[in-house]
Amino acid sequence: MKQTLSIVKIGGNLIEDNAALNSFLTAFSELSGLKILVHGGGKKASEVLGQLGITPQMTNGRRITDQDTLDVVTMVYGGLINKNLVARLQALGCNALGMSGADANSIQARKRPIKEVDYGFAGDVANVNAEKLNQILQIGLTPVFCALTHNGKGQLLNTNADTIASEIAISLSTNYHIVLYYCFELPGVLEDIKDPKSIISKINGDSYQKLVDKGIIAQGMLPKMHNAFASLKNGVREVRIGNLNVFQKEKDNYTTLVI
């Protein structure tokens, strides 16, 4: 029987709210079994860019990563946020290891090709080193990944954290029973964004398309859902979306995705 591996992606708003972050890190540290944490930090990166007089550039909800922006997101994601998360997890008894995709050659990516938009130094995941990640997990460490990968030729690339979580989950699904969590400030996918009690407890492929057509699932939730369903189609056993309730057994308090 496969070991269970929990892969948790934490959203930016939770990172910015210190009380909520404390609650999340406590819940994460108490998760039984093997686990991996993936984080972004776009809000903090935009804040630091502004302090440096650099205007953040976004299109279709995605960041344009020129060289100055790459320098800042490397400092913010790989340094400020990542090391603070690792230190706080260590205080909670979780033996965390801060990582980017370049560390241990764990995640290689390709620079996104220029089509209608030049996204600069943005990367699309090409390969996850499942063997190396398995070795790290089996010696009792908990990887904490920031949203940075590399191309194998010395170039760091800014990569969507939701995608990183999904690709790690897919790559390790042959070795483990994977539960993938997308944890953010909302209690789940909501029928009415203004009503936190309107949680859609279960979404499959058919209902997902209907929700997109109605505009209930839109904007930033679209790439998250795309990554989630991609992982389910490629070996991941379960995906949960919501706030800290995703770690509970009661399934009405968050959204579960199924094929």
Domain extents for the chain? 3-257
Question: What does the mean pLDDT of the chain come to?
Answer: 94
Query: pLDDT category, 219, cuts 50, 70, 90?
Result: confident
Give mean pLDDT, residues 117-143: 97
Going from the C-alpha of 87 to that of each of 92, 115, 209, 211, 213, the distances in angstroms are 9, 40, 41, 40, 43
The yes-or-no verdict on residue 256 having pLDDT over 80 is yes
The CA-to-CA distance between both ends of the chain, in Å, stands at 22
Please write the tens of the pLDDT for every residue from 42-54.
899 999 999 999 9
The predicted structure's pLDDT at residue 222 = 83
The predicted structure's pLDDT at residue 58 = 85
Element of type H or E holding 221: helix 221-232
Q: HSE on the CB side for 36, CA within 13 Å?
A: 30
Query: pLDDT category, 151, cuts 50, 70, 90?
Result: very high
Quote the CA–CA distance of 210 and 102 in Å, as a whole number. Answer: 39
Pairing mode of beta strands 58-59, 62-63: antiparallel
Q: Which of 241, 235, 244 is nearest to 211 (CA)?
A: 241
Look at the domain 3-257 and name its fold.
Carbamate kinase (3.40.1160)
Please write the tens of the pLDDT for every residue from 8-43.
999 878 899 999 999 999 999 999 999 999 999 989
The yes-or-no verdict on residue 59 having pLDDT over 90 is no
Please write the tens of the pLDDT for every residue from 173-197.
999 999 999 999 999 999 998 999 9
Q: What is the DSSP letter of 216?
A: S
- Structure token digits, residue 58: 């976004």
What percent of the chain stands above pLDDT 70?
99
Give mean pLDDT, residues 129-157: 98
The predicted structure's pLDDT at residue 259 = 81
Query: pLDDT category, 251, cuts 50, 70, 90?
Result: confident
Give mean pLDDT, residues 1-14: 91
Total Cβ atoms within 10 A of residue 129: 17
